[in-house]
Structure 1
Amino acid sequence: MTDRPDPQDLPIQEAPEPVAVNQRLFDGRRAQLFAWAAALYAALHLAALNGLSIAGMTGGSVELPFLPTFPIETWDFRILHVAGALALGFVLYAGCRHADGMRGPTRRLDRLAAVLLVPALIAFAATVWFAVQIDGGKLWNGMDAGIAFHETWLFGVPLLLATVGSILLSWADRAPRTRTAWPDIVLAVCGFAVASYLVTIYGTDMRKATGTPFAPIGMPIAAVAGSLLIMELTRRVAGLALVVIAAIFLAYVFVGPYLPGILNTPAVTWERFFSQLYTDAGILGPTTAVSSTYIILFIIFAAFLSASKVGDYFVNFAFAAAGRARGGPAKVAIFASGLMGMINGTSAGNVVATGSLTIPLMKKVGYKKETAGAIEAAASTGGQIMPPIMGAGAFIMAEITGIPYTEIAAAAIIPAVLYFVSVYFMVDFEAAKLGMRGMNEDELPRLRDMVTKVYLFVPIVILIAALFMGYSVIRAGTLAIASAAVVSWLTPHRMGPKTVAVAFDKAGVMAIQIIAVCACAGIIVGVISLTGVGARFSNLLLGLAEASQLLAMGFAMVIAILLGMGMPTTAAYAVAASVVAPGLIELGVPTLTAHIFVFYFAVVSAITPPVALASYAAAGISGANAMGTSVASFKIGITAFIVPFMVFYNPALLLDGTTVEIVRAAITAVAGIFLLSAGVQGWLIGGRAPWLSQIALIVAALFLIEGALLTDAAGLAVAGAALAWQRLVQARRKAVAHP
């Protein structure tokens, strides 16, 4: 028998780390400098979150253990959280695709950008001068003409000039990957100038003046500049979709007074609106609250799993357990992506992380390019609905609803299982139709070797156990992070100081995208909150419900999907929850059910054509047509479009009922999912199903999914008839083939 490599090294190590087209690849001292900056940014979050006290997400302070005399107030913590991401993001991601040649054509632009550094530094210096005056006892009143003059001409005008000018220059600066660009350095300084001003002013009584004529003029100016910076970084790291949506919402604030009917809004000045936008009613609201705590915590956890190679074990275990089954790599994708996806905050990010390995292997065993990409996209998207983390969605839901996290995680178990069972059936039936095999024995790690290293699951076990034992999310996450480093000492990949620094560096870079999109989503949430459009949408749903409750739910589904398109999960849910969930609750839908409903459709927007981020990411790896992959992933993940309605009509699926009701609902729902998968794929009990049987199977599935005793009986009867018809057709075909 030939020797095989250590199962810890099979086979995830072979997947190259993807690099964005505008991502910089520094070398030498510059690389070390920014690596340490990213590592310090992530490490400071972990230190702050585990400080001497965390006095809630709205108000109170976060005390740094190494600076106990300098408590960071909650708003300040979020402002610095966004500012750090802006600085790192502008340095590490260019405003356009990189040029691989010499810098030649960019020199003139660099000189112009260097000139813009002067007003940026003036604006930053002005905030320091303001802080010195306020600390000296000066009353900072927005009605003071002298203060207004200084804020306008020493801070506001230089800041806007540097911000707008540098953004425009960055679009044309095609510097090589290995160097920084002057426009981006200026933008980083502008980000810190905005943060410095807001931290200074929000430390005074002027915080209470937001949205009133007494607010200093610097507040709305800082918010305008901050919004532009956030939207530009979001464009760089997540594309235009979310930026366009945010721009439309911002335009709506000022166009709304001229629109008819339900879209009409009261007139508001730009000063009043923007002075409120960069507060907990908007950018510093729930989305940034969660990104600055739970999301970055689990990004650090994921980075530690990666750096310690413990995360590789999860994927390799899936290969050992499922790789031999027919269509093995596809089933591996389901398990691996489900496990890693619940930690990762984006469906597309999870596709890139695991799909770079699983998609080529799926193609190798016979799956079409579109199908291979679609399976990975559907599985990675499902990871976002898998408890206990749900891609941080569970924590956002707890933050928004006030429902205990443990209750949300428990309620989401059956719906998540239904989704993954459906994807598994879809994959298995597809493999059966194509006569696929599994992977060869010598291509896989030995299962018994994997079992001997089952202790590497300890970080996940500790995380789940700590959460359900009542530990705070931050404490549980920190224990899991520490355990990932500890268990690495039982493997050849021991984490030392250097590896820990690499993990923090990776976490800092990974966090940039999700922080940017959460802050950009905060702009949308702020518009919804400050214009009252959410309440008007609720009235629209109530009107539809008078005609048909199902129609109202269907309309809510469409809006949630549309709002979620082009966004990572957390941002998609936060926006949809602001618009759609209140309307559903007004209809009488229980709060948890309404938010689960919205959350599912915000998540599956990642595999819904025409804007399906997860499907597009998978298509890029598989080499398939993006739209074809989107349609295929929609088909494979079709159960996710049905589960929310199942939950609405059958609360037992959310563990709301007696034990008998819950068990019966779960069993019949799984049976319905099996029949639905069989009907969609056209395969049942060892053979292709005739078209009439396919229709009958889908009808039977819908009966069983509904959940009532009468419909369950009807569903079983229809399923029996479909199976009988299939057997009859198969018998006739055999008789014709072998007379």
Structure 2
Amino acid sequence: MSDHADRKDETTGPLVVEGVDEEPIEGNRRLFEGRMYVAVTFAAALYAAFHMAALNGLSIESMTGGAVDLPFLPSFPMETWNFRIVHIAGALALGFVLFAGTRFTDDEGRARPALGWLAWLLLLPALFSLGAALSFAVEIANGKMWNGMDAGIRFDEIWLFGVPLMVATVGGILLSWVHRRPRAALNPADIVLAFCGVAVAAYLVTIYGTLMRNSTGTPFAPIGISIAAVAGTLLIMELTRRVAGLALVVISVIFLIYVFTGQYLPGFLNSPAISWQRFFSQVYTDAGILGPTTAVSSTYIILFIIFAAFLQASKVGDYFVNFAFAVAGRARGGPAKVAIFASGLMGMINGTSAGNVVATGSLTIPLMKKVGYHKKTAGAIEAAASTGGQILPPIMGAGAFIMAEITGIPYTEIAVAAIIPALLYFTAIYFMVDFEAAKLGMRGMREDELPKFSQMAKQVFLFIPIVILIYALFQGYSVIRAGTLATAAAAVVSWLTPYRMGLRAISRAFHLAGIMSIQIIAVCACAGIIVGVISLTGVGARFSNLLLGLAAASQLLALVFAMLIAILLGMGMPTTAAYAVAASVVAPGLVELGIPMLTAHFFVFYFAVVSAITPPVALASYAAAGVSGANAMETSVASFKIGIAAFIVPFMFFYNSALLMQADWLEVTRACATAVFGVFLLSSGVQGWFIGARAVWFLRAALVVTALMMIEGSLATDVIGLAAAAAILFVQRVLKPREGATIRVRGAD
């Protein structure tokens, strides 16, 4: 029944969930020992704590009481671009140290010592480029004018900085692919890459600290910016490959190829010729890598990763799942309903569909199989619920913050607008799960198998961090201040439990946050490359024109096309990156159609999210299949079926903006009630179970059509839908058609 505890306990019953929110250990993550473990743990904790300090505006003077002069350290908060550059560089350095570029070997003899020596030699050009960047900083500090047109400066940047950096970067990446080391040992090639990341940051902080940032994309831009950006792009893509797989990297490569081949393509894909120097001098700015995706990862995302780490260290995450079992475990198919609640809540906080599937699914999937769900269905339920966490306010897996950053719409407005769509999604999953359990005659878990609700109720104070977060956000506190208060609350409430957070536990929480943040930071930076291509080539605007052309024939056709593109762009990508890319390509076109910005971005966001459960490339479903032991494609098809409402909901709020709270309360209430009834009918039609009995094929079809009538949103269609639902119920209960009889009639016809 997984690695989680299942034991007798006098106070909470036999099932005691422990470690449900523990981060899974990736197959290529190094597990250090001894001094190396201490050093890496300290570095990861310092990296996360640095962000917490910087985001809350602490200064070095306040941290030292003004007694210590530290002129070599920046004061907090740092200048925005520099902060983002350091944010990415820290993740690169930590990521290359922690995550290997190839498989491990336990046989020291197979480590190929010759390759190791070659990797150590590459450390020389890496350090040389870093030294050159620092020497540039000294020259600029001494008043030297730095201009990309100066021949001497150009020579120094190419031969003292650029060439050594590229040799070390390309060589380090290639060697990291072929030089295998034991799991507890560092690969010298990865040390080289870590220093290359630091060298890129040192140079960019130096140059962007002058007026050179205004010259990007012009002949006055120092060529070192372009070379540093090329190296930085390669490092980001390599780290993304290690922590998130090839999908996003392949898409990034295709977009980069497009930059230099777009001038030869026909139609709306044609783009103006762009030199490599001009493009790369701009892509490592706020037009690309340092743009909205990194802006969010360096602030809101890492803040809530720290919050999630504190919840984990204080065991509040375990309590969430125990509470869910106590509340819903006795219902038919109980573990599946627990998965909906627990996985949705945890997915909302940690922001990763696939990661949440592995963490909570290792408990819920075996229990679902135990009560009678097929293994593919058990995996599909977990995948759909974990994916739904990305659309669940107030955190929405950081999606709400990215949307606020891109659109300029206040975060609170986005969080409020997300309430009804999220309700519809989880209600639909609940109905799908319940009807499946009813068809199979399942039971819930016995009372003696579950935590005692009375004991769980006594610990309801463990929800305080979430309550404080929501209250602070809607009281007008900044997201950073609200997240910080909630994080502190998680530490405080732990003192009311056996898992009190002292200095050691707080350090461990920051260490966990530092490691947990690496994947999302790499993914956001890599998505920034794609956003930069879209921005600098103008392909987004041309895509908007294509949508306008389709809308002239049919607005619904344009929406379906936008849906397919958003899902296609999101396939194989983490939610954050999927939305960032889709928002750059698809959303502007929808806005051009006259769709309100909030509606357009929610439309794109939902389909970017559900790409995680959409065949053929469904990351969350594949992760669930790995836990359940089912076929990956069968699980993805089943999760698509269970999450079918997510593919309908965006069209619902397009046709009825009241579902996004964009109307008076009477209209919002009516729209919500009829939409909930609509997803009930939709779930009944898909599952073939309607009010206590199986539904024959033609009633199932009628239920789906009736559901769409309820979903459309107008008063007339609601009345027609209610009448149709009453007629279906009459046929079901009074005429009682049977599937076999229906088939005979069809044969007679």
Verify same fold: TM over 0.5. Answer: yes
| Deviation (angstroms), 1:103 | 4.8
> Is the Cα–Cα contact under 8 Å of residues 699 and 718 in structure 1 kept in the other structure?
no
State the 1:12 CA deviation.
Answer: 2.5
Task: Tell me, yes or no, if structure 1 residue 400 matches structure 2 residue 410.
Answer: no
SS at match of 1:45: helix
Aligned partner of 2:75 in structure 1 is 70
Alignment match, 1:457: 463
1:324 is the counterpart of 2:295: no
Match of 1:4 in 2: 9
**Could you tell me whether the CA contact under 8 Å between 2:260 and 2:273 is conserved in 1?**
yes
Q: Where in structure 2 are the equivalents of 1:33-44 lying within 5 Å?
A: 33-44=39-50
**For 1:172-191, what aligned pairs fall within 5 Å after superposition?**
172-191=178-197
Q: Which residue of 2 aligns with 1:573?
A: 579
Answering whether residue 362 of structure 2 is matched by residue 353 of structure 1, we say no
Aligned length, in residue pairs:
727
Q: Distance in 2 between matches of 1:644 and 1:163?
A: 44
Query: Which amino acid in structure 2 is aligned with residue 663 of structure 1?
Result: T
Which of 666, 670, 679 is matched with 1:673 structurally? 679
For 2:187, give the aligned amino acid. Answer: A
Shift of 1:604: 0.4
Please tell me whether the aligned partners of residues 64 and 70 of structure 1 are also in contact (alpha carbons under 8 angstroms): no
Per-residue deviation, residues 312-351 of structure 1 (Å, max 9, x unmatched): 1111100100011111110000000111111112111111
Letter of the 1:429 counterpart: F
Alignment pair present for 1:373 and 2:369:
no
* Aligned match of 2:368: 362
2:121 and 2:420 map into 1 onto residues whose CA distance is 59
Instruction: State the alpha-carbon separation in 1 of the partners of residues 220 and 519 from structure 2.
Output: 35
Match of 2:3 in 1: none
Aligned with 2:655 (options 649, 674, 678): 649
CA contact (8 A) 2:329 2:445 kept: yes
Looking at structure 1, the residues matched to 253 and 179 of structure 2 have their Cα atoms a distance apart, in angstroms, of: 24
In structure 1, distance between residues paired with 2:254 and 2:741: 64
Q: 1:669: how far off?
A: 0.2
Task: Indicate which of 228, 233, 236 corresponds to 2:239.
Answer: 233
Alignment-derived partner of residue 288 in structure 2: 282
Q: Is residue 2:733 matched to residue 1:727?
A: yes
Note if 1:508 corresponds to 2:514: yes
Change (3 A) 1:7 1:107: farther
449, 474, 478: which is aligned to 2:480? 474
- Any unmatched runs of 5+ in structure 1? 54-61
Q: Distance in 1 between matches of 2:591 and 2:322?
A: 43
Aligned-pair identity in percent equals 74
Answer whether contact 1:48 1:63 (CA < 8 A) is retained.
no
Instruction: Output the CA distance in 1 between the equivalents of 2:63 and 2:517.
Output: 23
TM-score scaled to structure 2, two decimals?
0.95
Q: Are the equivalent residues in 1 in contact too, given 2:13–2:448 (CA < 8 A)? A: no
1:82-117 deviation digits (Å, cap 9, x = unpaired): 000001100110001212332543322111100100
Equivalent residue number for residue 537 of structure 2: 531
Q: 1:735 to 1:551 in 2, by over 3 A?
A: closer
Quick check: 2:28–2:101 contact (8 Å CA) kept in 1? Answer: yes
| Alpha-carbon separation, structure 1, partners of 2:282 and 2:544 | 23
**CA separation in 2, counterparts of 1:477 and 1:73?**
22
Give 1:407's aligned amino acid. Answer: E
Identify which range, 284-293 or 652-661, moves more after superposition.
652-661
Aligned counterpart for 2:615 among listed residues 600, 609, 614? 609
The 3 A distance-change label for structure 1 pair 707 and 629 is: same
Q: What RMSD in Å do the two structures reach over aligned CA positions?
A: 1.8
In structure 1, what residue type is equivalent to 2:560?
A: G
Contact 2:8 2:14 in 1 (8 A): no
Kindly tell me: are residues 732 and 468 of structure 1, through their superposed partners in 2, closer, same or farther at Cα, counting changes over 3 Å?
closer
Q: Distance in 1 between matches of 2:114 and 2:380?
A: 46
Which one-letter code corresponds to 1:285 in the other structure?
G
Instruction: Tell me the distance in 2 between the aligned counterparts of 1:433 and 1:97.
Output: 45
User: How much does 1:211 deviate?
Assistant: 0.2
CA distance in 2: counterparts of 1:101 and 1:528, whole angstroms: 46
**Alpha-carbon offset, residue 718 of structure 1:** 1.8
1:478 and 1:646 map into 2 onto residues whose CA distance is: 36
Letter of the structure 1 residue corresponding to residue 18 of structure 2: Q
Question: CA separation in 1, counterparts of 2:607 and 2:295?
Answer: 22
User: Where in structure 2 are the equivalents of 1:244-263 lying within 5 Å?
Assistant: 244-263=250-269
User: For residue 438 of structure 1, what is the amino acid of its counterpart?
Assistant: G
Cα deviation, residue 731, structure 1: 7.1
DSSP-derived class of the 2:75 partner: strand
Alpha-carbon distance in structure 1 between the residues aligned to 2:701 and 2:656: 24
Measured after TM superposition, the shift of residue 573 of structure 1 is: 0.7
Per the TM alignment, residue 282 of structure 1 is displaced from its structure 2 partner at its CA by 0.2
Matches of 2:486 and 2:666, distance apart in 1? 35
Residues 237 and 249 of structure 2 are in contact (CA less than 8 Å); yes or no, is this contact kept in structure 1? Answer: yes
Structure-to-structure mapping, 1:131-146, within 5 angstroms? 131-146=137-152
Deviations 1:585-632 (A, max 9, x none): 000000100011011001001101111111111111111111111000
Cα separation, partners in 2 of 1:129 and 1:14, compared to 1, 3 Å: closer
Whole-Å separation in 2 of the counterparts to 1:45 and 1:9 = 41
- 1:387 partnered with 2:393: yes
Deviations 1:66-85 (A, max 9, x none): 57973521000000000000
Report the CA distance between 1:720 and its aligned residue.
1.9
C-alpha change, 1:571 and 1:114, in structure 2 (3 Å) is same
Q: Which residue identity does 1:70 align to in structure 2?
A: S
Aligned residue in 2 for 1:82: 88
Q: Give the whole-Å Cα distance in 2 for the aligned partners of 1:459 and 1:8.
A: 25
Which amino acid counterpart does residue 94 of structure 1 have in structure 2? A
Given the superposition, is the C-alpha separation of residues 635 and 731 from structure 1 closer, same or farther in structure 2, using an over 3 Å criterion? closer
| Counterpart pick for 1:550 among 553, 556, 576 | 556
1:194 aligns with 2:203: no
Unaligned runs of 5+ in 2: 1-6, 65-69, 743-749
SS at match of 2:252: helix
For residues 48 and 65 of structure 1, do their structure 2 counterparts lie closer, same or farther at Cα, with a shift above 3 Å needed? farther
1:618 aligns with 2:624: yes
2:248 to 242, 247, 253: 242
CA 1:42/1:69 → structure 2, altered by over 3 Å: closer, same or farther?
closer
The 8 Å contact of residues 13 and 452 in structure 2, kept in 1 or not, is answered as no
Partner of 2:599: 593
Q: Which residue number corresponds to residue 164 of structure 1?
A: 170
Which amino acid in 1 is paired with 2:221?
Answer: A
Superposed CA deviations along residues 434-482 of structure 1, whole A, max 9, x for unmatched, are 1111112222110111001100000000000000000000000000000
Native 8 Å contact 1:8 1:316 kept in 2: no
Query: How far has the Cα of 1:4 moved from its partner?
Result: 2.5
2:99 pairs with 1:99: no
Cα deviations by residue, 1:228-260 (Å, 9 ceiling, x for unpaired): 000000000000000000000000000000001
Q: Deviations along 1:510-532, whole A, 9 cap, x unmatched?
A: 00000000000000000000000
Give the structure 2 partner of residue 559 of structure 1.
565
CA distance in 2, matches of 1:650, 1:63: 54
Equivalent AA in structure 2 for residue 7 of structure 1: T
3-state secondary structure, aligned to 1:492: coil
For 1:720 and 1:582, the matched residues in 2 are separated by: 42
How far apart, in 1, do the equivalents of 2:724 and 2:531 lie?
46
Instruction: Show the counterpart of 1:709.
Output: 715
Distance 1:243 1:431, change over 3 A: same
| Separation in 1, partners of 2:494, 2:291 | 37
